Structure 1
Amino acid sequence: LLKVQSLSYGFSGCKLDTVERLIDMFNNDIFPIILEQGSLGASGDLVPLAHMSLPLVGLGEVEMNGEIVSGEEMNRRMNWKPIELASKEGLALLNGTQNMSAQAVWAVLNAQRLSEWADVIAAMSLDAFDGRIEPFTHAVHAVRPHQGQIETAARFRQLLEGSELIARPKKHVQDPYSFRCVPQVHGTVKDTLRYVYSVIDTEINSATDNPTVCPDEDLIISAGNFHGEPIALPMDYLAIAMSELANISERRIYRLVSGLRELPSFLVAKPGLNSGFMIAQYTAASVVSLNKSYAVPSSIDSIPSCQDQEDLVSMGANAAIKLRKVVENTERVLAIELFNAAQALDFRRPLVSSPELMKVYEAYRKVVPFIDTDVIMYPHIEDSVKFLRK
């Protein structure tokens, strides 16, 4: 879809039938089999886009109706003739940042969803941990007016309005940073997302192949719009931000199972032989640690290629692969936090949280039950992930 968009501007020197065939494939749910690795993120995503384009000329493989078939078989089944590429068309198809961009779009959309969930889940954890609402007061954030910080604090005040737990007198003066500094941390993720969204939005509405055909100027210019640097750095930035979102989530999980503030150790309903949510926290810690490795920027690396003609590459495709993995891992950590927060809320009864959070809690309890005695946990974690996707 992104390749069609890029070619459709008319700055690529591409025939109409080539673009129409890509559209026909897309509209008929015919998906080229594209290998994940091989792009340096400069000269475009040459290897992945080559795999995408091979079926046009009857080569490569595609998935049709859940079956993997050759490009030749695709043409036979669809009664299509292979596209005969004219001069420049091979470059138009293979140059470009569509492999990086497609993964970036997926990551941004899912990161936005998870950012919203992170606020809801963290608010539930704060209430279950008997946390304080004062750090979310608007006056605090008005003197350091980062947009995401102000939005997050306002969202928490809304989420916790009417909670019996947040309103009750507190014995403690302060909360740990993983609760108290949520506006600053979650807010920074929101601001990062805004920036990365704007960059990716520009990228997917651009012509990114080479050379660039400029019909109004009657010029064909060999330049560098295929270079992935404009999105490689933002993708690395978003991977760092999402890694931090998982990081702070795991710290809240740790607090909830630590036997603090009248919550039972490991959230065990029946202590003794039961270990409760101990291993769920181990799992979150493992995933968070892996995220930290993935968050090391790919864009700071470059390995020259093409006899040193391509002497600085973006490695944006590797940034995209790692970003996707970080987003998936962050979803899993947030699902584990929700699993813990709901369990902790049950130990606060008869007091309940706010009406808005209790709606989330009640919907979640239709999917994942209160854990009374030790059970196999991974199905409940998987159900929690599915709950976040709904």
Structure 2
Amino acid sequence: MTSLNGNDLDARVLRGIALGSAVTLDEKALARVAENRKVIQRILDEGRTVYGINTGFGQFATVVIPPDQLATLQLNLVRSHAAGVGEPLPKDQTRALMAARINCLLKGHSGIRPEPIRLLAACLNRDVLPVVPSQGSVGASGDLAPLAHMALLLVGEGLAWDGEAHIPGGRALAKAGLQPITLEPKEGLALINGTQLITAVGNLAVARLMDLVPLADEIAALSLEALRGTRAPYDPRIHQARPHPGQIQVAAHMREILGETSEIAESHKDCTRVQDAYSLRCIPQVHGVTRDALKFAGEILQRELNSATDNPMIFTETQESRSGGNFHGQYPAFACDLLAIAACDLASISERRQERLVNPAYSDLPAFLTREGGLESGFMMAHVTSAALVSEMKGLAHPACVDTIPTSAGKEDHVSMGPIAARKLMRAVDALEQVLALEARMALEGVRILGMAPARGLEPLMERLAAACPPWNDRPMYEEIAHAADALRVHVGE
């Protein structure tokens, strides 16, 4: 059970909610929301004209709406903005989207009543999930379309998941014993104005990368042993002389995993090789910058997860409404694009190590890691798969946040394209997981062929992989890749 209060949600906790953890709403935060709502009521009672409360939206901001049409205004807003298309978000991403929006509303700057927040939390806890199309947001005036599809559920409209089928939102609420709400002034806008699609998907990707980034070090160390590489490049003095935090951390991690020596290391102690290739020698430098990127981007996405991203913002202390631009998705968009680049680079150096594992010109291992070359193809196509994935990741690494197509009759004249960045990032993380699984499986076979014990720090990883993947003889490779990926997930505790 996770308590949401608007202030301390993080990527790992969000992943837990995405995977099914229930939420509670902090009572102090709800009290803050209720007090903030009084500002809206005061504005209405005084007959003031305020954007988002009793006016139209965007280009229609100068149109004043009569008091008897304010509820219709909010419902029309949600209906008209539910303009998404494409494949629905996966259920875990939908749950994360809902939790992120709840957390944003609990900041107490949205002018919403507690009731819609309570209903959204009840839907989340009872797994009543809206069908949210994945395309249709440019991440500028918030993720309007995806959040509007979410908001439709609360008024008993739109579509919801029923197993793998879709049913009307009202029926889904009724099946769960829930009642739809009637939106009051400002509430439609409060539900849909924000960066929660970018932020939710970005944070789910961060949670996965927090596992994959250190795992990449372990797999690289296994490849180093299989390729009979040297530990010399991880000498701490080298890295203190160029003190990037991530580089220092990776070098220390490699020393921890590899120890001072191993049976494999001793076997080539007096070999004639002077230096290893960069994919082995420069692991701290290349893996290190991905750690620094993850820290930088992860902090942006966590701050965004605990931010108020509405417009207008409602301030309880001064009883004011102020228009601004917190809905603009450039911050999380930048973060997602940076992480896609980082994931691509981790996969790219992994693929180079795989080339060395299967190519006898670069190692003491047989071609494609099989002693029955010709009769067997070994890991020939496994490396091809890895190359295909890395090539695709290079396209995914092209930033979305540098693009902009002005929308809303020029009012939104610079947009972030953050939802595209977030979707690309999640695809890149999926691909990285597969590339690392391929390297791990090849490195395991390489160590087996050498017939000597690797570093003791690699034993937990080796045991997981070995239990899932028997010594190689040609068999369906796709199954082998899946077994390796599953073993790695267990190894990192997913």
Separation in structure 2 between the aligned mates of residue 208 and residue 85 of structure 1, nearest angstrom: 20
Decide whether the 8 Å contact of 2:356 with 2:363 is kept in 1: no
Question: What code does the residue aligned with 1:58 have?
Answer: G
Q: How many residues align?
A: 388
Q: Shift in Å at residue 16 of structure 1?
A: 1.0
Decide whether the 8 Å contact of 1:228 with 1:314 is kept in 2: yes
Corresponding residue number in structure 2 for 1:167: 266
- Per-residue CA distance 1:198-230 (angstroms, 9 max, x = gap): 111110111111110011122101111100011
- Per-residue CA distance 1:9-50 (angstroms, 9 max, x = gap): 210010111000001011112221111111101110011111
Counterparts in 2 of 1:227-306, with a 5 A limit? 227-259=328-360, 260-306=362-408
- The TM-score, its normalising length taken from structure 1, stands at 0.97
Separation in structure 2 between the aligned mates of residue 184 and residue 87 of structure 1, nearest angstrom: 54
- Per-residue CA distance 1:166-189 (angstroms, 9 max, x = gap): 233133111111110000000000
Corresponding residue number in structure 1 for 2:321: 220
Q: Is 2:440 the counterpart of 1:343?
A: no
Decide whether the 8 Å contact of 2:298 with 2:335 is kept in 1: no
Corresponding residue number in structure 1 for 2:480: 380
Question: What code does the residue aligned with 1:331 have?
Answer: E
- Secondary structure at the aligned position of 2:427 is classed as helix
- The TM-score, its normalising length taken from structure 2, stands at 0.77
Decide whether the 8 Å contact of 2:357 with 2:363 is kept in 1: no
Separation in structure 2 between the aligned mates of residue 75 and residue 52 of structure 1, nearest angstrom: 13
Question: What code does the residue aligned with 2:262 have?
Answer: S
Q: Is 2:135 the counterpart of 1:32?
A: no
Q: Is 2:257 the counterpart of 1:156?
A: no
Separation in structure 2 between the aligned mates of residue 138 and residue 22 of structure 1, nearest angstrom: 51
Q: Is 2:470 the counterpart of 1:389?
A: no
Separation in structure 2 between the aligned mates of residue 152 and residue 348 of structure 1, nearest angstrom: 26
Question: What code does the residue aligned with 2:308 have?
Answer: A
Corresponding residue number in structure 1 for 2:183: 85
Corresponding residue number in structure 2 for 1:356: 457
Separation in structure 2 between the aligned mates of residue 187 and residue 79 of structure 1, nearest angstrom: 51
- Unaligned stretches of 5+ in structure 2? 1-98
Q: Is 2:216 the counterpart of 1:118?
A: yes
Corresponding residue number in structure 2 for 1:141: 239
Corresponding residue number in structure 1 for 2:174: 76
- Per-residue CA distance 1:254-301 (angstroms, 9 max, x = gap): 000001332101111212321111110000000000000010000000
User: Among 285, 295, 301, which residue is 1:184 paired with?
Assistant: 285
Which has the higher Rg, Structure 1 or Structure 2? Answer: 2
Separation in structure 2 between the aligned mates of residue 81 and residue 348 of structure 1, nearest angstrom: 65
- Secondary structure at the aligned position of 2:161 is classed as strand
Question: Percent of pairs identical after alignment?
Answer: 41
Range with bigger deviation, 262-271 or 35-44: 262-271
Question: What code does the residue aligned with 2:445 have?
Answer: Q
Q: Shift in Å at residue 362 of structure 1?
A: 2.0
Give every structure 1 segment of 4 or more consecutive aligned residues whose post-TM-superposition deviation is greater than 4 Å: 64-67
Question: What code does the residue aligned with 2:306 have?
Answer: N
Higher relative contact order (CA 8 A, sep 6+): 1
RMSD of aligned Cα (Å): 1.1
Question: What code does the residue aligned with 2:484 have?
Answer: S
Decide whether the 8 Å contact of 1:304 with 1:313 is kept in 2: yes
Decide whether the 8 Å contact of 1:352 with 1:358 is kept in 2: no
Q: Shift in Å at residue 240 of structure 1?
A: 0.4
- Secondary structure at the aligned position of 1:62 is classed as strand
Q: Shift in Å at residue 78 of structure 1?
A: 2.7
Question: What code does the residue aligned with 2:426 have?
Answer: R
